[in-house]
Amino acid sequence: MSQQPAPTGQLPDIDPRQLRNAFGKFATGVTVVTCRTPDGVPHGATVNAFTAVSLDPPLAQVTLIRGNKISGLLEDSPFAINIMSSGQLDTCLNFAGKPMKGEVAWRPDAEGIPVLEGNSATLECEPWAIYDGGDHLIVIGRVIALRSDDELEPLCFFSGKFREIGEHVGGAPWALCGDSMASGWFEGSTDFNAF
């Protein structure tokens, strides 16, 4: 079922369930954002709204439900974005509110910022900026440390369900975008020829 555009000049009434379903058609990875509470206790929340923002400076973004405990902690607290591996489903569910049977596996060598053990990748961040995102907060952190494990496949999320990454499909990724400053496309050019 699809919603039709509103007449010109009117904003449409968007059905929240249809919007959620449409958002869910964008396959994502899964993260658990972790930090410490003011009394030093590790705290985390499962988040799939994550994106890379910038390489220079190194910035990453998570989007958190406004009013959740973690959204109030990240304004002044360093935090980690734990990019979950396919073997961490129980951990993801634990931080989404379904307690796991065993104990959460924390990385023993994490200094200050609590980091989960077994991640596909980890970005440790210091607060950079927080923006209004309607019923969410857009939190940007400056990456101060990172780890990546190429042996661990990421956990994925699509249409409301956790998934594992599948086989490669046709085509190959490119090293740089054609209009990237780093590719030299625009660097030093004063005139452009039509194709």
Q: Are 95 and 119 in contact (CB under 8 A)?
A: no
192 within a domain of the structure (yes/no): no
Burial 140-161 (b: 16+ CB within 10 A, else e): bbbbeeeeeeeebebbbbeeee
173 within a domain of the structure (yes/no): no
Give me the number of domains the chain comprises.
1
pLDDT per residue as tens digits for the range 70-87: 888 888 889 999 999 999
119 within a domain of the structure (yes/no): yes
Separation in Å, CA 109 to CA 5, 117, 122, 141, 147: 53, 10, 13, 21, 12
CATH of the domain at 153: 2.30.110.10
Identify any residues that bridge with 156 across adjacent strands, giving them in sequence order.
Answer: 29, 163
Q: Does the pTM of the predicted model rise above 0.85?
A: no
pLDDT reported for residue 192: 52
pLDDT reported for residue 183: 56
87 within a domain of the structure (yes/no): yes
Quote the domain boundaries for residue 143.
Answer: 16-165
pLDDT reported for residue 194: 55
126 Cβ partners below 8 Å, 6+ apart?
A: 78, 141, 142, 144
34 within a domain of the structure (yes/no): yes
Q: Are 29 and 83 in contact (CB under 8 A)?
A: yes
pLDDT per residue as tens digits for the range 88-144: 999 999 999 899 888 999 998 756 899 999 999 999 999 999 999 888 899 999 999
2 within a domain of the structure (yes/no): no
